[in-house]
């Protein structure tokens, strides 16, 4: 609907995945996985609601559709958004609370090396752009942290990241998502 989907398409196709854009509820049919990209979370949810995609997407993810959520995608999935707009509705499927733009504004963007659990021991270049800050976790597995705050969490078949792997040039997380989607 909105966001950095083109960069995810390029990364996923680079690791051998077939991709298609999802803009309607019918586009969900037959998917092995879905990416909720970075962008503007309020706009994303309003557009999904307007075209009738919000509830079918919620059901598909709740029923096990593999999901990679980055930055705004993490916000859209979060159970609680501490500074969301009044009436902002998300998917509320991920047991975390986030603060939008918790790491600052666009000018505060940064890159940080991250140690991601289960990866080959090499750091991953975390690209943070107006990133959400995870303030509370519930029944999720924290797979990476930065400054004592979770920045990557896994809950079932959901992998949610506060950063942008599609902008890093490192394809390891996209490979992991494809593996997860093909299980």
Q: Which residues are catalytic?
A: 71, 164, 166
Residues in the chain: 183
86, with CB counted inside 10 A (0-12, 13-18, 19+), is exposed
Cβ–Cβ under 8 Å, residues 16 and 178: yes
Tell me the β-bridge partners of 158.
67, 155
Using CA atoms, how far apart are residues 134 and 142, in angstroms rounded to an integer? 11
DSSP 152: E
Backbone angles phi, psi at 180, to 5 degrees: -60, -40
Q: Which residues contact 88 (CB under 8 A, 6 or more apart)?
A: 41, 42, 45, 81
Using CA atoms, how far apart are residues 37 and 73, in angstroms rounded to an integer? 5
Report residue 7 as tokens.
Answer: 């960069």
């Amino acid at each position: 609907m909105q966001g950095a989907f083109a960069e995810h398409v390029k990364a996923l196709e680079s690791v051998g995945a077939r991709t298609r854009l999802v803009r309607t509820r019918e586009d969900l049919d037959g998917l092995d996985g879905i990416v909720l990209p970075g962008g503007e979370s309020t706009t994303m949810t309003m557009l999904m609601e307007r075209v009738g995609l919000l509830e079918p997407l919620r059901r598909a993810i709740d029923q096990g559709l593999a999901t990679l959520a980055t930055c705004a995608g993490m916000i859209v999935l979060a159970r609680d958004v501490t500074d969301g707009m009044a009436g902002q509705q998300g998917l509320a499927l991920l047991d975390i609370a986030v603060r939008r733009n918790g790491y600052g504004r666009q000018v505060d963007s940064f890159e940080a090396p991250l140690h991601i659990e289960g990866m080959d021991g090499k750091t991953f270049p975390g690209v943070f752009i107006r990133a959400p800050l995870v303030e509370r976790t519930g029944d999720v597995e924290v797979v990476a942290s930065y400054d004592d705050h979770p920045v990557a969490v896994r809950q079932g078949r959901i992998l949610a990241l506060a950063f942008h792997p599609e902008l890093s040039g490192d394809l390891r997380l996209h490979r992991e998502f494809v593996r997860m989607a093909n299980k």
